[in-house]
Amino acid sequence: MEYDTSSWAEAIIKIKPLGKAPKKYGEGVYRFGAALTLSVILPKRGCKLVKQTKNYAYLKPPIEENHSPYSIRIKIPSKEQALKIAEECYEKGESWIGQLGVSGQPGIRISVQDKCVK
């Protein structure tokens, strides 16, 4: 699904690494939490994804951004816009996971219609 992100708010978020990565990953590589999110967002902004694990993403920022915390611009839907996306998926009865807009903001919607949860 594609979304028109032109009316979404632009925000600047600061991302602080959890420390340097082990030396085996190379010089200038840092360990970040939120591995599923940052491994998608940061490479779209020039970082090199060196390794991704269940809990961490090991990324090497571009030379000009080699300082912490890192600031990135990202487009974020309002609550109403996010609910509209969820409603569209609900109406179709679809589970959905993907990236919202050019920014790569992760999103998920899991359909539980007609399913028994034990």
How is 43-106 classified by DSSP, letter by letter?
Answer: GGGT-EEEEE-SS-EEEE--GGG-SSSEEEEEEE--HHHHHHHHHHHHHHT--EEEEETTTTEE
Task: Report the number of distinct structural domains present in the chain.
Answer: 1
Span 79-109, pLDDT tens digits? 788 778 778 877 877 666 555 555 556 665 5
For residue 114, is pLDDT > 50? Answer: no
How much is the mean pLDDT over the chain? Answer: 78
Domain with 19, as residue range(s), is: 12-75
Residue 80 covered by a domain:
no
pLDDT of residue 24: 95
Q: Shortest CA distance to 95 belongs to which of 84, 112, 107, 111?
A: 111
pLDDT band, residue 115 (cuts 50/70/90): very low
Span 12-34, pLDDT tens digits? 888 889 999 999 999 989 999 88
Residue 116 covered by a domain:
no
Q: Shortest CA distance to 77 belongs to which of 42, 103, 46?
A: 103
**What's phi and psi for 78, nearest 5 deg?**
-70, 170
pLDDT of residue 116: 41
Residue 39 covered by a domain:
yes
Q: What are the tokens at 46?
A: 């020039």
8 A C-beta contact, residue 70 and residue 61: yes
